[in-house]
Amino acid sequence: MKVSIIGTTGYGGVELLRILHSHPEFDIHSIHSTKEEVAISDEYPHLYGIIDKKMSSIDADKIADESDLVFFATPSGVSSSLVDQFKGKDIKVIDLSGDLRLKNTSDYLKWYKKTPANEAIVDEAVYGLSEWNKEQVKAANWVANPGCYPTATLLGLAPVVKEGLIDPRSIIVDAKSGTSGAGRAASRATLYAEVNENFKIYKVNEHQHIPEIEQQLMVWNSEIQPITFSTHLLPLTRGIMATMYVQLLADWETERVIDLYQSYYENEPFVRVRPQGYFPSIKDVSSSNYCDIGLHVDKRTNRLTIVSVIDNLMKGAAGQAVQNANIMFGLESHSGLKFMPLYP
């Protein structure tokens, strides 16, 4: 299968290259960026001698003619304009931005403060949370690849939300991300000297991933009320941890909750529900496509603490995008994705 990538110069784009370069079924046919005619190894010298393709301009007709699948590794606000160019073309699309995720375009307007994408495509696009929407992804032409925070959060909340085990007003998510999530554009806020030896909270109760999370939670359980969601910037490059707090409606032991989670995820190659007493850390999944989950019920408060970790560029972006591509083309979902976590 031939694939194209638009937006190759960002961190999500270059992570797609890392995965696809050794993928047994997908062949990187073309890469695109506004920096046409520049070799990708000039932009990313670590690729020297490995991938020497040049970037070319975005010609939707040509891409659709020559490739079976295109990844939009472009930022929100850019993907929406690409949608118009690829609409009606004979090619499958996986969009890594937030532009196709929110079914209610007024939510998009409110949280992203940008013009929404074509509404028909937004309607058609399938939300690519691979473990939960496999059947729809398989049949999809347009996939909205989930955000990094929503992936960690939703995989961690799904079982108790679906089962209706928690007070629907009680969801609090304290999320932390490494700086690669902020992208590769020059910026003062993510300079090394600003981030190092620092830790900050940002977009308190205002993060654009809030409606994405709530939309999916309500698909699973319509009782769910608005969540509290905080995001923090970690002094590290890759990784997200979401620490979540929910109020259990009945008395459940930690072990029983873990059993529930393990039964939900037992056939999923990338979700590792950890045994009682172990809580995953970011290095447990670094540079891999795993999402690891740890669980604990505090008997004093009957509150459940859920810890969910991913690599934001892998399971939180490029890894899950390739997982969705695998599903769309009938491959095993972990095809080309068996990267072992990097340790130390």
Residues 225-254 touching a second copy, rule: CB under 8 A, are 225-228, 230, 232, 234-239, 241, 243, 245
Contacting a second copy within 295-314 (CB under 8 A): 296, 298, 300-301, 303, 305, 307
287 belongs to the binding site for a second copy (CB under 8 A): yes
Under a CB-based contact definition with an 8 Å cutoff, are residues 307 and 294 in contact? yes
Binder among 104, 106, 199, 256 for a second copy (CB under 8 A) = 199
CB of 141 to a second copy, least distance (A): 30
190 contributes a contact to a second copy by CB under 8 A: yes
Residue 178 to residue 238: CA distance in whole angstroms: 5
**Considering only 46-54, 67-75, 136-144, 315-323, which stretch makes contact with a second copy by CB under 8 A?**
46-54
Residue of 5, 14, 69, 148 marked active site: 148
The reply on whether position 11 binds a second copy by CB under 8 A is: yes
Among 70, 282, 322, 328, binds a second copy (CB under 8 A): 282
Among residues 204, 223, 263, 276, the one that binds a second copy under rule CB under 8 A:
204
Q: How many CB atoms lie within 10 A of CB 269?
A: 15
Whole-angstrom CA distances from 217 to 11, 157, 177 are 28, 8, 21
Residue 249 has φ and ψ, to the nearest 5°, of -80, -30
Shortest spacing between CB 258 and a second copy, in angstroms: 13
Q: Which range in 68-76, 88-96, 271-279, 327-335 contacts a second copy by CB under 8 A?
A: 271-279
Cα–Cα distance for residue pair 325/26, rounded to 1 Å: 9
Contacts (CB under 8 A) with a second copy, residues 111-170: 169
Sequence letter at residue 248: L
Q: Which backbone phi and psi does 119 adopt, to 5 degrees?
A: -65, -35
> What is the distance between the alpha carbons of residues 245 and 229, in angstroms, rounded to a whole number?
11
The footprint of a second copy on residues 74-93 (CB under 8 A) is none
The smaller minimum CB distance to a second copy, of residues 120 and 342, is found at 342
- Return the residue matching tokens 């999402």: 291
Q: Encoding tokens for residue 136?
A: 């729809």
Look up 291 and say whether it is catalytic: no
Q: How far apart are CA 286 and CA 239, in angstroms?
A: 7
- Residue 229, beta-bridge partner list: 173
Q: Which residues are identified as catalytic?
A: 148
